[in-house]
Amino acid sequence: MAKTLVALYDTFTDAERVVQELIADGFARSDIHLAFDRTTGPAAHASSVEWGSEYGGANLDDTLVDLGVPSDEAYAYAEGVRRGGALVVVESSDERAERGMAILQRLHPVNLHERTAQWRQEGWTGYDATAMTSTPRSSAASATRTSQEQARATAHVANQEASARRVEGDQEVTIPVVEEDIAIGKREVERSHVRIYSRVTEQPVEEAVRLREEKVIVERRPVDRPATEADFAAAGKDVIEMTEKAEEPVVTKRARVVEEVVAHKEVTEHTETVRGTERHTDVDVQREPETATATRRGTAPQDFTAYDPVFRQHYVSTVADRSTAYTAYEPAYRYGYELGTNERYRGRDWAALEADARRDWEARHPNTWERFKDAIRYGWESLTGHGTARSSSARTMDSDGFATYNDDFRKHYGTAFGTRGVAYTEYEPAYRYGYELGTHERYRGRDWVALEADARRDWEARHPNTWERFKDAIRYSWDKVRART
């Protein structure tokens, strides 16, 4: 007895994957049918599965009923197809039905009972093949996008509120410390529904049977003898009768139950590790040196023209494409200068302000951030003292201090790198950079693991693809300066 397996999927892609798995498992293509809304055009859904007109349009519900699907479920399946879903119908033998159902369930088909209940809550009263196609998933997608936008807006407001606040006088500030407790339990949910349909099919049967047939043959034989009285008497009153017999086929049917399909539930238990996160508020207190704070507040940033020679020097040393004049990069350096003088970004590092800076820059100069971001960052670092960009006066002071370590660095070079056949002048920029890291306020109190990523990024911006070669010299000079400060 043949069985019909039916499953509805939200997307054509999932349905086609199921079809391909069925074919790969040995199911015949002619026994697999794929139904979807064909009003969008055949080009929208190219499939290797052949389909007939009975699996499209208003004929779908009638076709499912003819296959043995209850009419209310057939209408629900047709409604799901009308709303943009894809229906897979498989005509299977008894032996293959269980395997086919396992493949259909693998990609999580639509729970028809829950979906029809949802449609009825939205006002659906029954299947109407002439109704306009509507897709409830669009509203769900809109709700998802709305919630994501609200989450981003909330995070943006939180970031703004988390910026530094200045407290004047005897004002008291309260910072709440929040902890979350996570509770893990379990509840019973419906995974899916398995439907098994049975129907009666007919197939032709033939068998060869040998049949016996009798036929009476009357012959006239010529005789030449004298007639007697007995002959005359027999001719007047004798009637001879013979019966012809024949065999004909007789067909009898006897129905027997040869198999029972038993549906039952197999209950298993397993242990699943549930992982979550508990949030809590950490409050870090950092006291800045009073002298540094007073100097920072009392010193106004110089005019852009004072930094212009530094920016031009950076342009010459870093921009590989000299066919582009400095005037093309000047707006980027100027924008970085504006970031450094903007009170909105005071106290924030580059990682915290880069997203805002990129959005603002792209609004003025679309699709140019990746080209000019290094110049923008250098301009910002020149004002704030972050990274490697520093004023010419600061570099002069560093040069004087660096000389006190120069002999030590040369000795280390001779021991560690002297056999490489490269002059000390090749390694001097690396020792100088390590010295700058050791004297920079930004990295005060941080160990090598905490600053290595920033140091590598800044070094690679000036000397691409050379970090691995010079990092030992950089770290050695940083260790020396850090040990004395």
- Would you say residue 308 has pLDDT above 70? yes
Whether 8 and 112 share a structural domain: yes
Please report whether residue 321 resides in a domain.
yes
* Shared domain check, 451 and 355: no
| One domain for residues 318 and 367 | yes
Q: How far apart are CA 311 and CA 329, in angstroms?
A: 9
Mean pLDDT, rounded, for 407-415: 88
Q: Of the candidates 99, 121, 143, which is a domain's last residue?
A: 121
pLDDT in tens, 204-223: 988 898 999 999 898 888 98
In a domain, 251, yes or no: no
CA distances in angstroms from 187 to 279, 401, 460, listed in the order given: 24, 69, 54
**18 and 103, same structural domain?**
yes
Q: Does residue 7 sit within a domain?
A: yes
Over residues 327-347, mean pLDDT: 88
pLDDT score for 129 = 59
- The pLDDT value recorded for residue 290 is 36
Number of compact structural domains in the chain: 3
- Angstrom distance (rounded) from CA 39 to CA 134: 12
| Residue found by looking up tokens 């940033």 in the block | 301
Average pLDDT estimate for 435-439? 85
H helices present in 83-224, as ranges = 94-106, 112-121, 137-161
Judged by average pLDDT, the poorest of 225-239, 378-392, 406-420, 449-463 is 378-392
Interatomic CA distance for residues 352 and 349, integer angstroms? 6
Residue 428 lies in a domain: yes
CATH number (domain holding residue 15): 3.30.70
Per the structure, the complete domain to which residue 419 belongs is given by 392-484
pLDDT for the residue 456:
92
pLDDT at 466: 92
Look at residues 70, 87, 121 and tell me which one is the last residue of a structural domain. 121
183-205, pLDDT tens digit by residue?
778 887 776 667 787 878 888 98
Strand order in the sheet with 3-9: 32-36, 86-92, 3-9, 197-198
Could you tell me if 397 and 354 lie in one domain? Answer: no
Structure tokens at 285: 């207190």
* Structural domain contains residue 234: no
Do 376 and 462 fall into the same domain? no
Among 67-76, 172-181, 292-301, top mean pLDDT goes to 67-76
Helix (H, G, I), strand (E, B) or coil at 478: helix
Tokens 């609004």 found at: 363
The pLDDT value given to residue 298? 33
Q: What is the mean pLDDT of residues 12-22?
A: 89
305 and 372 in a single domain? The answer is yes
| 47 vs 67, residue with greater confidence | 67
Asked if residue 397 and residue 324 are part of one domain, the reply reads no
In a domain, 80, yes or no: yes
Is 396 part of any domain?
A: yes
Q: How confident is the model at residue 383 (pLDDT cuts 50, 70, 90)?
A: confident
Q: Are both 373 and 401 inside the same structural domain?
A: no
Distance CA 36, CA 83 (A): 9
Lowest mean pLDDT among 29-38, 297-306, 391-400: 391-400
How many whole angstroms separate alpha carbon 349 and alpha carbon 286?
16
pLDDT tens digits, 146-197? 444 444 444 343 444 444 555 555 567 788 888 777 777 888 777 666 778 7
Q: What is the pLDDT of residue 169?
A: 56
Q: Model-level pTM? A: 0.31
Between CA 334 and CA 305 the distance in angstroms is 10
Cβ-in-10-Å burial (0-12, 13-18, 19+) of 333 comes to buried
What does DSSP say about strands 32-36 and 197-198: parallel, antiparallel, or unpaired?
Answer: unpaired
Q: Is residue 231 part of a domain?
A: no
∠ CA 357-361-364, rounded to 5°: 150
Q: How far apart are CA 347 and CA 293, in angstroms?
A: 12
Buried residues in 109-122 as b, exposed as e (16+ CB within 10 A): bbebeebbeebeee
Last residue of a domain, one of 121, 143, 178: 121
| Average pLDDT taken over every residue of the chain | 77
- Mean per-residue pLDDT, 89-93: 88
Pair of tokens at residue 323:
């066919």
